[in-house]
Amino acid sequence: MSAIPCTLPDSSPGLLLRPDGAFALLVLAHGAGAGMEHPFLAGLATALARRGVATLRYPFPYLERKAGRPDPPAVLVRRVRAAVEFAGSQGAVPLFAGGKSLGGRMTSTAQAEDPLPGVRGLVFFGFPLHRPGQPGLARAEHLARVSLPMLFLQGTRDPLSELGLVRAVTGRLAPRATLHVVDGADHGFAVLKRSGRTGGEVIEELASVAADWMGALLA
């Protein structure tokens, strides 16, 4: 099973991985420092496909230009909307949206500003609450304006999301927010060797939890 290159409405590229009989399509954005073909995102897309979830991966403009710094939020949000628009044109399959770190935060920002057409829920793989060593909640303030169900998948060793703060945020957003904690995982969902787990096993856990959550919402 391999992803098929596609072109979004704003002429940017994308990768669509759609298994036969997919019950949902997740618009999946990358993190700040790694593009849509990063092994983590590719592995996650494949694991989701085995569980009946199609994915659309796409790049933010700054990575297309090979720039080192992300574009302003307004630019990133426009790309999120272009990706969701394309996903919505792919037949009658329920849509979800989200992404890794920055990609998830920009997706929720887009939804908070103006609802993303057809999207049923948001999935965050490591929501970046704050800069390393600078705990805070400012980046989560817009989530109060998101009326959709949200799934937060967070590692216990994530320096960009102090777990106590994540619990506080998701608690305030309940019942719209669901938190799944990955024991021992950092921001990239890497785990220490002494955990006895592999990166592949963690990806399988993430995909299983996300697919089950989407399926339950649609049931």
- Of the chain, the percentage scoring pLDDT greater than 70 comes to 100
Helix (H, G, I), strand (E, B) or coil at 1: coil
Predicted pLDDT of residue 167? 97
Predicted pLDDT of residue 115? 97
Give 95-112 pLDDT, tens digit per residue.
999 999 999 999 999 999
In the chain, which residues have pLDDT < 50?
A: none
Give 142-180 pLDDT, tens digit per residue.
999 999 999 999 999 999 999 999 999 999 999 999 999
Task: With residue 120 as reference, give the H or E element that holds it.
Answer: strand 119-125
Q: Is residue 175 reached through a cis peptide bond, with omega within 30 degrees of 0 on the bond before it?
A: yes
Predicted pLDDT of residue 33? 86
Predicted pLDDT of residue 67? 82
For residues 209 and 199, the answer to whether their CB atoms sit within 8 Å is no
Predicted pLDDT of residue 71? 94
Q: How far apart are CA 54 and CA 51, in angstroms?
A: 9
How many alpha carbons fall within 13 Å on the CB side of residue 179?
19
For residues 59 and 102, the answer to whether their CB atoms sit within 8 Å is no
Q: Output the six-digit token pair for 208.
A: 């299983």
Three-class SS string for 37-67? CCHHHHHHHHHHHHCCEEEEEECCHHHHCCC
**Bridge partners of residue 53, in order along the sequence:** 24
For residues 127 and 150, the answer to whether their CB atoms sit within 8 Å is no
Predicted pLDDT of residue 53? 98
Helix (H, G, I), strand (E, B) or coil at 131: strand
Predicted pLDDT of residue 107? 98
Rounded to 10 degrees, the C-alpha dihedral 28/26/121/118 comes to 110
Predicted pLDDT of residue 148? 98
